[in-house]
Structure 1
Amino acid sequence: MQTTYFWIGLAVLLVVLDLWVINSLWRSDNTRGSKARWTAVVVLLPYVGAAIWAVAGPRGVTKGPSSPEHSKG
């Protein structure tokens, strides 16, 4: 029974990690083709793709909050 929870937890972690990587990837300033290739790598090779993206992927998020109100402290 506990082994089942372990695998469910691992699958949830994988989905959250992939969604985070894909969100960060599509918010970057790279070309659409580059984003599509990275998305394919991350989806087809989940953990390995995310690790490769973390080391060699696009850097920087260019699209921040949509209004200056979000930046007020």
Structure 2
Amino acid sequence: MGIEVNGVIGLLILIADIWAIVNIMSASVSVGSKVLWILIVLLLPVVGLLIWLFAGPRAT
């Protein structure tokens, strides 16, 4: 059962990261900021997502 739970958690994190990247791409900030935020989310999937939620650019 542990493998299935880990798979579901991993899938949820992947979906949340994709959602964050889509929102970052639609934000009205510079291309450099977008690239930096996307790299943070990709390199640190959970921590990067949490940082983006609290401090990242928002789509307007």
TM-score under structure 1 length normalisation: 0.79
Residue identity matched to 1:57:
G
Which one scores higher on RCO, CA 8 angstroms, separation ≥ 6?
Answer: 2
> Cα RMSD between the aligned structures?
0.7
> Which residue matches 1:13?
12
> Which residue matches 2:35?
36
Aligned to 1:54, the other structure's residue is in SS state helix
> Which residue matches 1:69?
none
User: When you count helix as a share of all residues, which structure comes out higher?
Assistant: 2
| Aligned residue pairs, count | 60
Deviations 1:13-67 (A, max 9, x none): 11100000000000000010000000000000001000000111112x23xxxxx
Aligned to 2:28, the other structure's residue is in SS state coil
Runs of 4+, deviation exceeding 3 Å: none
Structure 2: gaps spanning 5 or more residues: none
Structure 1: gaps spanning 5 or more residues: 63-73
TM-score under structure 2 length normalisation: 0.95
Aligned sequence identity (%): 35
